[in-house]
Amino acid sequence: MDDALHLQVAAVACGLAPGVLGATGPATQLVLQGCRIGCPGCTSLHTHAAMGGRQMTVAVLLQLMHRLHGQGQLARLTLTGGEPTEQAPALERLLASFTQAFPQTEVVLYSGRSWRALQRHFAPLVAHCDVVVAGPFVSDRPPTPMAGSDNQTVHLLTPRAERLYRDWQRWPMHRVQLSVTPVPDGMQQMLMVGIPQRQVAQVMNGPKACTAAAVATSTKSP
């Protein structure tokens, strides 16, 4: 079954520090491709096309997660996009297997959908998450330590989340870092991950942050 299901993946970022889109680290971010929400001012336009990025089966992604866990890079899995819920069936399957294999790893989901819509239409997906950051990005609203704009709501769904995120509103603002990720053509993809200052996101040209300003820029180098 996992060999048949696949996800369109924009990027995978590894080695994320605590405070960069979540509490624990080193962490891994899975950036999913495809978004029909289209928040005005979104700086992640490269993740909007449904068939962009690369196709990866759930089985292959699970193999990658096992390898990252063995390398000590999987204290947390953060899911961003794009809009992750647009690939809900395959993502639910990935998370069902992931949480079974790595019960001590926290799962953080960023979605541009409202919390009410997530509860109503994507409850099986939400059930696998410790933390959900919900709501559309609004470019003229200020960011928070966990979200690109302060209208987005942070939901702590497990005792682990309540413990790890009890003071998230007092975390430092604009925590970002670079992550270098191999891509299939033998080059390296460099991602700036986190919630950058709005001015930084505006001046950078090309692929940038998603719904929650989660990937600020993406470049390739030999």
Domains and CATH numbers, the chain: 6-221 (3.20.20)
With beta carbons less than 8 A apart as the criterion, state whether 69 and 102 touch.
Answer: yes
**The pLDDT of residue 71:** 92
**Contacts of 104 by beta carbon, 8 Å cutoff, 6+ apart:** none
Place of tokens 């696949």: 6
How would residue 217 be classed by pLDDT, with cut points 50, 70 and 90? very low
With beta carbons less than 8 A apart as the criterion, state whether 103 and 97 touch.
Answer: no
Sign, Cα dihedral of 65, 71, 75, 81: negative
How would residue 182 be classed by pLDDT, with cut points 50, 70 and 90? low
CA distance 106 to 51: 28
Of the candidates 222, 211, 219, which has an alpha carbon nearest to the alpha carbon of residue 45? 211
Over residues 71-79, the mean pLDDT reads 95
For residue 214, what are the CA distances in angstroms to 5, 90, 109, 190, 201?
25, 21, 11, 14, 11
With beta carbons less than 8 A apart as the criterion, state whether 188 and 180 touch.
Answer: yes
**Rg (alpha carbons) of the chain, rounded to whole number:** 16
Does residue 90 register a pLDDT over 60? yes
**Contacts of 116 by beta carbon, 8 Å cutoff, 6+ apart:** none
Q: 46-65 pLDDT, tens per residue?
A: 788 888 888 999 999 999 99
Instruction: Give, rounded to a whole angstrom, the gap between the first and last alpha carbons of the chain.
Output: 36
Does residue 95 register a pLDDT over 60? yes
Instruction: Count CB atoms within 10 A of the CB of residue 216.
Output: 24
Torsion of CA 93, 95, 96, 101, to 10 degrees: 130
With beta carbons less than 8 A apart as the criterion, state whether 79 and 105 touch.
Answer: no
